[in-house]
Amino acid sequence: MADFSISKAIGSGFSLIARRPGSVIAWSMAYLLVAVVPMALMFGYLLSELPSLFANLRHMDPKVGLSADVFRLQSKMMMANPLVFVSSLAGRALLVGAIYRSVLEPGNRRFFALRFSKQELWLALSLFVYGLIVAFALLGVMLGGGVLGGLAWLVSSLITDPVAATLTRVVLIGGVVIAAVGVWAWVAIRFSLGPVMTFAEQEFRLPESWAFTKGHAWKLTGLGATLAIIALAIGLAVEGVILAIAYSRLGGFDQAHLQAFFPQGQIPNVVPLLFTLAPAIALGFALVGPMSAILVAPLASVYRDLKGQGVADGAGRA
């Protein structure tokens, strides 16, 4: 039976960064251009109308109600939502696809492994459906956990001894929470290889991930937990650096220094604030590629080991 190494999978992202640092930076820039810039332009346009909106709200007649400007801005925001969704999904597919291609097809290095091809379209679909599955699984366990938690509370309330009742309540509700998180994580893990399978085989393969991960779910859970710890550690370190940069650029986080950017009773000075925080923002966007490589490459490595190097290398060369 094919198997994979957790340590090898974890090291695949760091190895990818070391071997192809230029590509990793290019992935950050590509994601910025495809996913972030359109969103920034749209919200910048919407924010440009806020001064007139706030002026209308301040002079609003309670008897008349909201002005037409409010509803016009709301309609524009609703029209912008589909474009934000499409650009965000396209950016994710472009970034994730480049990482998958770099692991599964190491010789396919043209344009930093960035493509807008059929593989990326299938990948975008699988990422979207996978997100829906995880979201609905979370909703399901929250609803089921809420019902079971209510029953646990009801059962514990029947105990006359207050100490025993509290202890029983903690044990039962704690067990419900652990079980709910476990069920949600199990669903997410069993479908986790669906996107990379879809990318490699150029067909929608999300349902097949359930059977493909059979017998490997516990190792995949260990891999996911390890990656979560690594992401948390790196995230805290990066957050500290970004906060230090922001503190030095703003001169402090006290009211006196923030007053220039957030005047009371007025619209925040967004543009000067963005220019002031530009180094911190640039650092955050530059790390999109490296962090994605660390978190995404392991799944491609796992798929390659479970499926077989020969099959994986031959996938997606259209």
For 26-42, the pLDDT digits (tens) are 999 999 999 988 887 77
Say if residues 304 and 103 touch (Cβ distance below 8 Å): yes
Q: What share of the chain is helix, strand, coil (3-state, %, to 5)?
A: 80, 0, 20
Domain ranges of the chain: 6-116+198-311
Residue-level pLDDT at 159: 83
pLDDT tens-place string over residues 238-272: 989 888 888 887 777 767 666 666 666 556 666 67
pLDDT at residue 104 tops 80: yes
Q: How confident is the model at residue 317 (pLDDT cuts 50, 70, 90)?
A: very low
Residue 63's pLDDT is what? 57
Residue 57 is which amino acid?
Answer: L
Q: Which helix (H) or strand (E) holds 27?
A: helix 21-31
pLDDT digits over 1-26, tens only? 678 999 999 999 999 999 999 999 99
Q: Which pLDDT score is estimated for 312?
A: 43
Task: Kindly state the average pLDDT of the residues 111-138.
Answer: 94
Measured CA distances, 225 to 113, 188, 189, 196 (Å): 28, 12, 11, 19
| CA triple 303-23-92, angle to 5 deg | 60
Residue 311 has pLDDT above 50, yes or no: no
**Gyration radius from the chain CA atoms:** 24
Residue 315: is its pLDDT beyond 90?
Answer: no
Mean pLDDT of the chain: 84
Element (H, E) at 273: helix 270-276
Average confidence (pLDDT) over 177-192: 93
pTM of the predicted model over 0.95 = no
How many Å apart are CA 56 and CA 301, to the nearest integer? 56
Tell me, what's the pLDDT at 74?
66
Output phi, psi for 233, to 5 deg: -65, -45
Instruction: Compute the distance between CA of residue 123 and CA of residue 94 in angstroms, rounded to an integer.
Output: 9
